[in-house]
Structure 1
Amino acid sequence: MYAIVDIETTGGYAANNAITEVAIVLHDGNRELKRYETLVRPGMTIPRYVQALTGISDEMVAGAPSFDELAPIIYEWLKDAVFVAHNVNFDYSFLHSQLKDCGFHLDSRKLCTVRLSRKVFPGAPSYSLGNICQHLGISIPNRHRAGGDANATVLLFEKILQAGGLEVIRGMLKGRNKEQYLPIHLPAEQLDGLPQLPGVYYFHDQKGKVIYVGKAKNLRHRVSSHFSNNKTGKQKQEFLRNIYSISHEITGTELMAFLLECVEIKRLWPVYNRSLKRFEPSYGLYVYEDRNGYSRLILEKRKKQLQPIYTFSLLLEGQNLLRKLIREYNLCPRLCFIQKGDDTCEGIREGYCKGACEHQEPPESYNARVEEAISALLKSLPSFTLMDRGRHAEEKSCILIEKGRLYGMGYLPADTVIYDTTDLKSYLTRYPENDYMRGLIYAHAERWPSKIIKGPIG
């Protein structure tokens, strides 16, 4: 049994909107058996643009039953049938949500006549209800009303059956086919074509623009998980409606997928990515010479036009490192801006500052210790290579950290032996980096020390 459904609503997503009209046609695959149609009092004002589109006004629904009153009836009509609609996830999300609010759990198998039409009538100019019906010679009196659109969907469904679509329908219903949960514009073949390998995936809109970038240990499973629930909020529904295609890039490891995702989000700035967009190293350690000739170390928020000695996510990290350098190299806390105000220099009082802040030490000797501190800091920054599996058996992957910074990553033949960093770099792609990316690499290296290479690579 098929329940062919159409609804009208106050808006485009189930959360914070409501149904204004429902039409359900029960069909046995040969003919229509019976139908149910009613206006619904939504409990909210119908926006004017919706009134203009559907012709359903606040006055028309004022005396209609509420959904609470209709829920037992609607549930009885739907509970044992295959739920059929044009863009099925839209209608299903509203009815599932509002039935749930009334204590009914709808768990129907679904059929989307958009997807059915694409399979049975390939090459049509468009698969919107109006356009596919026009293409097939189906008229739609009372357009944008639940009854009129449901009747058009019935005729379309019958055309699909007459064109040999029964086998397609059986395939789509077999084992709760995941295709029914996909975004309406996304070809199922693109999901099926994704490998079960680590990598980065890209969702594209109608114009091909990347709107979301994600990383995955298993590309097919991760992308499928985006569509495994049908959340009713505006953000999720708009996101799904805007996905028209998927592309991907395989990486050798999950770590490389994490790193490439960071790079690609910064490069493409996709509209639906949020968290990693906000991440930037917040602070840098800088050096400059003041008017008296003294080298000054200072922690500042990152400056695009200046290259820091080192960067920090948190100010406290930088302060702890700077205090350590001050103590080890007898630097002045006032000249390093750790101590502020007019009080006596803590370093002089405690015996490690030699009086540069009071001009008791000449700039030359003080600056030499600043240079020594910077040199020691840079030397302490690690340089190593992380070697791991490649994208296939004939290659290996490589991530290079040079003086504490990510230089780049790439792939080289599995049997290659490399003796110096210059040769290695010819196989790598340089990438911008940040504290978050470095943190991922350091954590991975600490967890898997056997993957760290410091000598010849091979």
Structure 2
Amino acid sequence: MNQSKKQEFAIVDIETTGGNAKSSRITEVAIVIHDGNQVLERWETLVNPGKEIPNSIFALTGIDNDMVKDAPLFDEVAEHIFSMLKDRIFVAHNVNFDYSFIRFQLQESGFEWSAIKLCTVRYARKIKPGLLSYSLGRLCDYLDIPIENRHRAGGDADATAILFAYLKVLDTDQVFQDMIKHKAVDQRFPPHLNPLEYEQLPNEAGVYYFHDKDGKVIYVGKAVNIKKRVLSHFTGNNIQAQRQHFLKEIHHISYECCGTELMSLLLECAEIKRFWPKYNRALKRYEPKFGLFSYEDQNGYLHLAIGKVNRGQSCIQLFQREYDAIQLLQSFIQHGDINPQFCQFGQASLSTKSIKKDELPDRDLHNTRVERCIEDWLKQQPSYVLIDRGRHADEKSCIVVENGLFYGMGYIDQYCQYQDLEDVKGQVQKYQSNHYMMELVKMAAERQPAKIYFLTKTTVLPAKAAETAFSYNKWAPNSLFGLYE
């Protein structure tokens, strides 16, 4: 930093045509140069954004298209803005918003610029904790700071300068010096997030939740290291509209530690299905398209049908490809001796409406065949537990698969005995199975066969005889849940 400008501050406020730097433009800029004690210089200008100003923005700021039509383009004032900001600490209320716009438009004008940032929202939280709101207007009301021309760059910049000076007088511990360090974590945070919530995050695997001001979950994520992963959301200078809105809505963070990355992945998926958060998109799209269903018609006959799966809908089996569903249904018909007229292959389906009443098979016999076919298919699907490390030394993580479907997961005391499948199921939390979760478990089982124990419902009493209930594969250790060496 240039010694002549050391510890000088450029207090900035801007007005724009919208909420993100990439698709919106600056309409007004005000810069107040401050040495920490007094104002050294002040400059402001309207800016022609080169695009229409929306009515909603006009209603907020009072700036309309006529006001800016003769104002300079940003390119024409970029060099002057750059000279005022260069080598100074960039100060603003909700600093990342103003910073992202200024940096992006300076870049477009050919000026490479970056600066140390100081957010007066965060500064106020540290110096005056416990206030109900830290918006500029509310802070000025609380602290009796005069504010004129609200929602205009000049008026807001002047008020921010007075607020900054006021906070510095109260800052007897020189808190701001820690805030302006090059690697100060605080400056990366969303403006409404209390840094203490971040500091309390663990460096462990698990799931984290971002909440809005009302406590509603707006994002769920998984991490090998929760603290490190959460911080990564706030780094960089991403100017995409979605990220800008996302950061503004984050008010709180909560978390749940998990024993392994797989447990984190499964819990993340389950929680996304439960909360359906606003900003989660990837796992929402990962849904199997087809399912094999069973239903009873008005005459009491069971049908087997292939169809598209709606969210939360249960079925016998899920498929990514319709072809695979057809293959399974055809095998049901062949091996279960099921009348194909009661089977529906997608759009090309038949129903009992096309079957004459005197040609209908015996209903009880037909239904028994369908039920037995489904039951036999489910019995062929494996039941097993995947045992891995827990959240601490006295427990293990436990994932239960029953008849080829993800049943649930949880944590078990490694010193307890579990005698059969029902006993284990009673120790874990049940979740609604879905295709993605089951694929995750299958992949883990293939990679780590030594952690898999196949289960039956046979009850056993002595722990040493556990092999009859938990018949593990040949690669598994000769122990029940790894408890007996």
Normalised by the shorter chain, which TM-score bucket?
Answer: 0.7 to 0.9
Instruction: Output the CA distance in 2 between the equivalents of 1:132 and 1:227.
Output: 25
Q: 1:118 aligns with which of 106, 116, 125?
A: 125
Local SS of the residue matching 2:137:
helix
Shift of 1:362: 8.9
Equivalence for 1:453: 453
In 2: Cα distance, 1:430 partner to 1:5 partner: 53
Q: 2:247 aligns with which of 222, 233, 240?
A: 240
The question of whether the paired residues in 2 share the 8 Å contact of 1:5 and 1:24 is answered with yes
Deviation, 1:54, is: 2.4
| 1:445/1:452 contact within 8 Å kept | yes
Deviation of 1:124 after TM superposition, in Å, equals 3.3
Aligned amino acid, residue 326 of structure 2: Q
SS at match of 2:18: coil
* Cα distance, 1:52–1:318 mapped onto 2, change above 3 Å: closer
The residue number in structure 1 matching 2:466 is none
Moved more, 279-288 or 362-371: 362-371
Post-superposition offset of 1:328: 5.5
> 1:152 aligned to 2:159?
yes
Per-residue CA distance 1:83-118 (angstroms, 9 max, x = gap): 101110111111111112222222111000111011
Which stretch of structure 1 is more off in the superposition, 215-224 or 106-115? 215-224
Measured at CA, do residues 53 and 282 of structure 1 come closer, stay the same or move farther in structure 2, by a change above 3 Å?
closer
Q: Normalising to structure 1: TM-score of the pair?
A: 0.87
Q: Does the 8 Å contact 1:217/1:254 carry over to 2?
A: yes
8 Å CA contact 1:109–1:176 kept in 2: the answer is no
In the TM superposition, residue 170 of structure 1 has moved relative to its aligned partner by 1.0
Percentage identity across aligned positions? 50
Which residues of 2 match residues 51-62 of structure 1 at below 5 A? Answer: 51-62=58-69
- Partner of 1:403 in structure 2? 403
Any conservation in 1 of the 2:116–2:181 contact (CA below 8 Å)? no
1:42 aligns with 2:18: no
Query: Which residue of structure 1 aligns with residue 473 of structure 2?
Result: none
Residues 405-414 or 298-307, more deviating: 298-307
Give the superposition deviation at 1:299.
2.1
Match of 1:255 among 242, 250, 262: 262
RMSD (Å) for aligned C-alpha atoms: 3.0
Is 1:441 the equivalent of 2:444?
Answer: no
- Contact 1:185–1:241, Cα closer than 8 Å, also in 2: yes
Structure 2 distance, partners of 1:306, 1:187, is 40
Change (3 A) 1:95 1:368: same
Match of 2:232 in 1: 225
Between the aligned partners of 2:431 and 2:349, the Cα distance in structure 1 is: 42
Secondary structure of the 1:162 match is helix
Q: Does 2:193 correspond to 1:186? A: yes
User: Is residue 2:329 matched to residue 1:322?
Assistant: yes
Contact 1:409–1:428, Cα closer than 8 Å, also in 2: yes
Q: Which ranges in structure 2 are unaligned for 5 or more consecutive residues?
A: 1-7, 351-358, 455-469, 471-479
Q: Which moved more, 1:222-231 or 1:297-306?
A: 297-306
Decide whether the 8 Å contact of 2:106 with 2:113 is kept in 1. Answer: yes
* 1:236 shift after superposition: 1.8
Q: Which amino acid aligns with 2:166?
A: K
Alpha-carbon offset, residue 375 of structure 1 = 4.4
After superposition, the C-alpha distances for 1:52-108 in whole angstroms (9 at most, x for unaligned) are: 332323222221110011112211221211110111011111111111222222211
Cα distance in 2 between the residues matched to 1:167 and 1:134: 25
Partner in structure 2 of residue 93 of structure 1: 100
Structure 1 match to 2:179: 172
97-106 vs 364-373, greater mean Cα deviation: 364-373
Give the Å deviation of 1:430.
Answer: 0.7
Distance 1:424 1:102, change over 3 A: same
Cα distance in 2 for residues equivalent to 1:338 and 1:306: 18
Separation in 1 of the partners of 2:71 and 2:136?
Answer: 27
Gaps of 5+ in 1: 343-358
> Could you tell me whether the CA contact under 8 Å between 1:120 and 1:165 is conserved in 2?
no
**8 A contact 2:304–2:343 mirrored in 1:** yes
TM-score by length of 2: 0.83
Structure 1 counterpart SS, 2:49: coil
- Secondary structure of 1:131's partner? helix
Which residue of structure 1 lines up, in the alignment, with residue 420 of structure 2? 420
What's the counterpart of residue 389 of structure 1?
Answer: 389
Q: Distance in 2 between matches of 1:53 and 1:23?
A: 17
How far did residue 233 of structure 1 move?
A: 2.9
- Give, in whole Å, the separation in 1 of the partners of 2:218 and 2:76: 41
C-alpha contact 1:330 1:369 (8 A) present in aligned 2:
yes
Count of residues in Structure 1 that have an aligned counterpart in Structure 2: 443
Deviation at 1:306, TM superposition (A): 8.6
- The superposition leaves residues 35-67 of structure 1 with CA deviations (integer Å, 9 ceiling, x where unpaired) of 222111111122233233323232222211100
1:30 matched to which residue of 2? 37
- CA gap 1:5/1:295 in 2 versus in 1, 3 angstroms: closer
Q: Report the AA paired with residue 213 of structure 1.
A: V
Whole-angstrom distance in 1 between the partners of 2:364 and 2:149:
89
Q: Which moved more, 1:154-163 or 1:430-439?
A: 154-163
